[in-house]
Amino acid sequence: MGAGYGVLRVSPDKGGALRFALNVRGGNFHMRELSGVIRNGEARLENDVDSKLPCIVTFKSQNNGIAVAAQHQGTCSGYCGVRAQFE
């Protein structure tokens, strides 16, 4: 199996927010797709696993790019294929 990769696209949105689209392919060719609006460094997405705990994706600027992570492990799993991750 080869290494996976991802593409993050960020563009301006209304009210100073940013819109993002993240497409990831795992080393096993399973896909993950996320999209939404970033406000104050995070995006809140609906969560099929637990409606009380949303999928919260954080975005932090780094010297070599942007670090993308889930705030709570497992809450964003509904957006993935098997073993596909975006972190």
For residue range 22-80, what is the model confidence (pLDDT) as tens digits? 887 776 677 778 889 999 999 988 766 666 778 888 999 999 889 888 887 666 765 55
How long, in residues, is the chain? 87
Q: Which residue has the tokens 């199996």?
A: 1
Contact 60, 40 (CB under 8 A): no
d(CA 49, CA 36): 18
Model pLDDT, residue 69? 85
Higher pLDDT, 16 or 74: 16
Extract the tokens encoding 53: 């705990």
Q: Is the dihedral of CA 67, 71, 74, 77 positive or negative?
A: negative
Contact 57, 47 (CB under 8 A): no
Model pLDDT, residue 52? 74
Model pLDDT, residue 79? 57
pTM: 0.74
Q: Is the pLDDT confidence value at 18 over 90?
A: yes
